[in-house]
Amino acid sequence: MRLVSALVSTTVLIGVIVPRVGAAESTTAQLTPFVMLDVATEKDSVSPIKNEYFNKHITTGFKTAGKWEYSLKLGTSDKDARTYKLVSNVIEGKIKKSVEVRKGIYPYVSARFAEKTYSSKTKPYTSSFTYYSFDVGSKFSLSDSIGLDIGFRFRDSDKYSYESERYHAMLLFDVNEFNTIGIRYSESSSDNLEEDRQSVRLHWQHNFR
């Protein structure tokens, strides 16, 4: 039920903000739909038990001519622990704003709201909670087809010990006008040792126009 509530809240939020942004921009501004697939491996960097995680996500959304981005992400993560195997599912809405301060430099900020559900493969267990996060960073164009994205993310939850700070660096390669491949390395720190992680993520994004 909370998953449905999170989805409805995200949809309503986007529905309220999009018309206001559209009114400020040209009524003929072009929207660019996109889809992104990503896979990632993570491991605990501090915890004595080095749990490993394998994440898979699909993200769909659109971008506006004013460099606003609205998206919805669905995904799952498998935790390979010594004691039991844990699966988590997530649905996450995101709003992002980028600006071009000079040619090839694009700072951005974003906000995300999500619902996450845990379940065990080996014993009866289910738990869910909401979380939110804020990102700041910048993308740098290194050439016509290569970019670098450096950023910071703060994340916290309504009840679960989920607060963490994450730094990342990502290389982006434009295969052509519509397709981009990216590889990202990130490290996160938290008072919860299981949220102290190192991660490598690979993604492919397709813009439909």
pLDDT the model gives residue 84: 56
Confidence label for 4 from pLDDT (cuts 50, 70 and 90): very low
Q: What is the average per-residue pLDDT within 66-83?
A: 87
For 144-191, how does the pLDDT look when each residue is reduced to its tens digit (9 = 90+)?
999 999 999 999 997 777 889 999 999 999 999 999 999 999 999 987
182 close to 205: Cβ distance less than 8 angstroms = yes
pLDDT band at 47 (very low <50, low <70, confident <90, very high): low
pLDDT band, very low/low/confident/very high, at 27 (cuts 50, 70, 90): very low
Which is it for strands 179-189 and 197-207: parallel, antiparallel or unpaired? antiparallel
- What domain range is 16 assigned to? 2-207
Q: Are strands 126-141 and 146-157 parallel, antiparallel or unpaired?
A: antiparallel
Q: Where is pLDDT greater, at 5 or 195?
A: 195
CA-wise closest residue to 184 among 139, 131, 134? 139
% of the chain beyond a pLDDT of 90? 61
**Residue 167 to residue 134: CA distance in whole angstroms:** 12
Number of domains in the chain: 1
Side chain identity, residue 207? N
CATH number of the domain bearing residue 65: 2.40.160.20
The pTM assigned to this predicted structure is: 0.81
Pairing of β 126-141 and β 197-207: unpaired
Above 60 in pLDDT, residue 3? no
Determine the Cα–Cα distance for residues 154 and 146; give it in Å rounded to an integer.
27
Average pLDDT score, the chain: 85
Joined together, the tokens standing for residue 10 give 């995200």
